Amino acid sequence: MVAKKEKSKRSKNVEEEEVDYAAVADQFADLSDQDSVEEEDDDDDDENDESSSRNSADSNDEIENSGSDDDEEDSQDHDDSEGDEENDDGEEDDIVRKMTTNSFAGTEPCSFDMHNLLAINSHQMDTSKMYIKKAGKYNDEEDITIPPESLDVAVNEKYLLEKAASGCTQLIAALWQLPIESSDIGPMVSLPIHDGSKIPRQLPPPPPKKETKWEKFAKLRGISLNKEKRSQKVFDEATGEWMYRHGYRKANDDTKEWPIMEVKGNDDPYADPWEKQREEKRSRKDKNMESRMRNEERAGNLVKGTTNKLLKNREKARMAGKAGGDLDRYNVPPSGVPVDLRPTKGSGDIKSMKRGKASITNALLATQRSTASLGNFDKMLEGEPERKKNHVGAKKRKYEGSTDKTVISTEAERAMKVFKHVVDGGGAQKEKARLKGHLAKGETAYDYEFNDGLGPSTFQKKKGRAAAGKMKKMTKKRIK
Amino acid sequence: MAPTEQQRKASRTKELSGSKKVPNARVQRYLKSTESKLKEDGKNTLLLKGIKASEAMSRVLQELRALQAPRVKLLNKKNQIVPFEDQQSLEFLSTKNDCALFAVASHNKKRPNNLVIGRTFDHQVLDMAELGILRFKSSLRDYGGQVFKKRIGTKPLLMFQGDLWQQYSTIDYPNLQNLLTDFYRGQVVDKILATGIDHMIVFTIAPAQGTVLIHQRTYHIQLKKNPKDLSSKVPVPLLQPCGPDFDFVLRRTMWADSDLAKAARRQPAELRKKKTEKNKNKTTTIFGETMGRLHLEKQNVEKMGGRKNKALRRAEKAAADQESMAVESELDREKEEMGREFQREFGFAEQD
């Protein structure tokens, strides 16, 4: 039954064709004839019998009598450890053989770590049997991925296979001795829980959950925690069903905003109950967040100091929000006052918005004279610097009366000039704009004066290598 | 992309402070899987290429990927990593990919066909071993289509042959055995389907050509009925070489110092081996009461001294008084008699 299951499973994985077991067995039979350099001819029969019986597919049907043959095996030509063992412990060997249900297990018992399905064969490896000295280059394996060019010896694959088979048999026998329970998939073997090889973990074990401040205190004082006393669900009067005590859509929710709010006890009837409720909720949320974060910080799940930082920032943001536009009043210089846009040491490229001394004094000068009397009769304020020659550069505009002769004659001209400026547009200014390209409609060089960077200075008559010019010998005279 | 410790803390801060940018449930489940667990699953492997990797070494990595699928990640680009000099980038990559095992393949003139196998603990490199591959026969390419191949995800049987595996004087071979076991053992399970065993990896160590060679062979297993004992249920395996086959030599190693090694192997208290309780003298009644029996030797009650209280003392005193009275009365009688006799004999009373 075991074999049948295998076949059905295997056939799914093998690429279409069914494997010819006999052919496989033949492969190994051939190998055994060729590679057995060390073995004597006498022993070949027994060795081959055992190996072929192990490797052939017909082993299902054959009932081998070679069990008895093994016991009688007593060849002096055997120079391997197996033979020695047999010679020494004749009787004991018998018993050992009978204990292991089959003699495929070989004579080298292994120790096991069943948690990892590991077998350890700590007997010495017979290098004379294991390696075959290469005569020249080993040509059979040149086309494998990494050919054994630097290896002087070739490995006797058959020997390794035999040893592997014996170890595997023992391991499977050990596996079958573990408790087996049958499930709908098949027989499940329970492996031992503890690791015999002591393989290290990938991460240290999770630290035990640290107590919160309240839990610590409660433990100290012998107060039982609410979570041990309270049930998860509570009966809700309004809906008449069992709802969760905490969280979204909880039972008996007083914190909702109902259109009509009761005035309870000592509350001020003129206070805004909805505002009050919102405030309370906000404060509860903040408190809860803070205490949770502090507990986690204490436990080590957060970087130390994040709570304080976060609270500070929140406070700052709240204050800024409350101040609103007021902040600008204190932080931003008022419009109209010139600001010195000069980069400071720390700001780098960003120009500081500090009030510069130079432009302030200029602004002050300008304001001082910006009266009809050019500031001559204005009262001096405390701390105001002296007005020195303020009227330099400042011209008083002449009063133009409408009945003045000069005004009447020139007025029309002046007005027309302005009118023309508006209608015709520009004049000299317009010409400048056109040249610069501001009035261009299309994107051709004819629309405006395009500066392509070519001029008399950039003109080169000679091209290529000749353009570089002659290499003139650098003499002392030339250098000077 | 498993988060680093710093990132984890930052995201936790965001979560607690009420940020609305909490990741969705699937991401949260994945993040939880990257945290440390009480009982650990199998380790994931990261396969990398070093500074210069030949085609053959790329094939080696593909082979390892086939062996360890699906718990393996193969990265395609070459990395400027020299494992024995700088482990920082290795640690970073292994943390981010959530892989505790790694293998870096490289090829240069000084160290041809080089494979560095290692493992990490707590995002730090724990052990590393450099293996020089002298021969490699690939199961994907060199063994042909007729040979059975192992199925993806199956757990291998492992075997270490040779007495050198126990030697640790010059080179720490037991540690190497541990590392190789860790690398190849696959998923850690409590139960295994007995018929699901389909391959075995054998590591043979032997001295040869001046150095010590390690041979890794992989065999496909088919469980057959025991032809010599048809009644037994225990099957006998039929082994067929299916590859991959490696012949390698150990070049350099870097083992963790004893403190770190001990810390890495320390299991939490819940998982450590418990001494089985043999409470034969404890019984629990149906009401839930636990009764205990004390088994004592036979006591000589008569010779034991007991505690005396007032009543007992009084009784004793009374008894003693009675006795003394009885004795006195006896003496008096005797005296009287003797006096009478004296008088009879001598005629006058005895006077003292």
pLDDT means per 10 residues in chain B (352 residues)?
83 84 86 87 93 93 92 93 91 92 94 94 93 90 81 92 89 93 92 90 91 93 84 87 90 92 88 70 81 85 82 91 94 93 86 66
Q: Is the ipTM of this complex over 0.90?
A: no
Which residues of chain A neighbour B267 with C-beta distances below 8 Å? 201, 205
Q: What gap in Å lies between CA A268 and CA A28, rounded to an integer?
A: 100
CATH number of the structural domain spanning residue B207: 3.40.50.10480
Q: Which of A81-85, A153-157, A261-265, A324-328 has the lowest mean pLDDT?
A: A81-85
Q: Are A125 and B264 an interchain contact pair (Cβ–Cβ within 8 Å)?
A: no
Please indicate whether, in this complex, the C-beta atoms of A144 and B137 are within 8 angstroms of each other. yes
Q: Supply the range of the domain harboring residue A168.
A: 108-126+152-181
Residue A471 lies in a domain: no
Structure tokens, B101 = 């095992």
Res. A226: pLDDT tops 90? no
Q: Are A178 and A191 in contact (CB under 8 A)?
A: yes
Asked if the model's pLDDT at residue A86 lies above 60, the reply is no
The residues, any chain, with a CB within 8 Å of residue B18's CB and separated by 6 or more, are A285, A289
Domain membership flag for residue A169: yes
Asked if residue A118 is part of any domain, the answer here is yes
The pLDDT value recorded for residue B352 is 60
Give the residue from B133, B125, B124, B120 showing the smallest Cα distance to B53: B133
Q: What is the mean pLDDT of residues A271-285?
A: 88
Q: Which of A94-103, A244-253, B178-187 has the lowest mean pLDDT?
A: A94-103
How much is the pLDDT for B55?
93
Structurally, chain B folds into a number of domains equal to: 1
Examine the pLDDT at A23 and tell me if it is beyond 50.
Answer: no
Nearest C-alpha neighbor of B56 from the set A147, A142, A141, A145: A145
Please state the length of chain B.
Answer: 352
Average pLDDT, chain A: 72
With respect to residue B4, please indicate whether it lies within any of the assigned structural domains. Answer: no
Q: Which domain holds residue B164?
A: 22-265
Chain A residues within an 8 Å CB radius of B152: none
- β-sheet bridge partners, residue A182: A187
Residue A115 covered by a domain: yes
A87: helix, strand or coil: helix
B169 or A7, higher pLDDT: B169
Interface of A with B in 212-251 (CB under 8 A): none
User: B77 CB contacts (<8 Å, ≥6 apart)?
Assistant: B49
Confidence of residue A394 (pLDDT cuts 50, 70, 90): low
The reply to whether A157 falls in a domain is: yes
The model's pLDDT over A437-477, given as tens digits with 9 standing for 90+, comes to 777 666 666 656 667 778 888 888 888 888 887 888 888 88
Summarize the confidence of residues A323-340 as an average pLDDT. 63
Question: Is there a domain that residue B272 lies in?
Answer: no
Q: Which chain A residues contact residue B225 at CB under 8 A?
A: 2-3, 59-60
Q: Which residues contact B31 (CB under 8 A, 6 or more apart)?
A: B2, B3, B8, B23
Residue B348 lies in a domain: no
Among A138-142, A396-400, B285-289, name the most confident range: B285-289
Residue from A111, A121, A131, A39 nearest A80 by CA:
A39
Query: Does the pLDDT of residue A87 top 90, yes or no?
Result: no
Stated pTM of the model:
0.59
Residue B127 in any domain: the answer is yes
Q: What is the pLDDT of residue A165?
A: 92
Instruction: Decide if pLDDT at A480 tops 80.
Output: no
Which residue's structure tokens are 């060997």?
A: A93
Give how far Cα A117 sits from Cα of A170, A195, A428, A466, B195, Å: 11, 10, 98, 82, 14
Q: Does any domain span residue B208? A: yes
Q: Which of A123-137, A148-162, A165-179, B269-283 has the lowest mean pLDDT?
A: B269-283
Nearest CA in chain A to B156: A117
Q: What is the pLDDT confidence band of residue A24, given thresholds at 50, 70 and 90?
A: very low
Q: Looking at residue A64, what is its pLDDT?
A: 36
Per-residue confidence (pLDDT) for residue A459, from 0 to 100: 83
Question: Is B329 among the domain residues?
Answer: no
Mean pLDDT of A75-102: 39
Could you tell me whether strands B72-78 and B45-49 are parallel, antiparallel, or unpaired per DSSP bridges? parallel
Cβ neighbour number for residue A407 with a 10 Å cutoff? 14
Which residues in chain B are closer than 8 Å to A187, comparing Cβ atoms? 193-195
CA pair distance B150, A10, nearest whole angstrom:
9
- Alpha helices in A206-305, H assignment, sequence order: 213-221, 226-229, 273-299
- Per the document, the length of chain A is 480
For residue A55, pLDDT beyond 60: no
Residue type, position A117, single letter = L
Q: Name beta bridge partners: A181.
A: A188
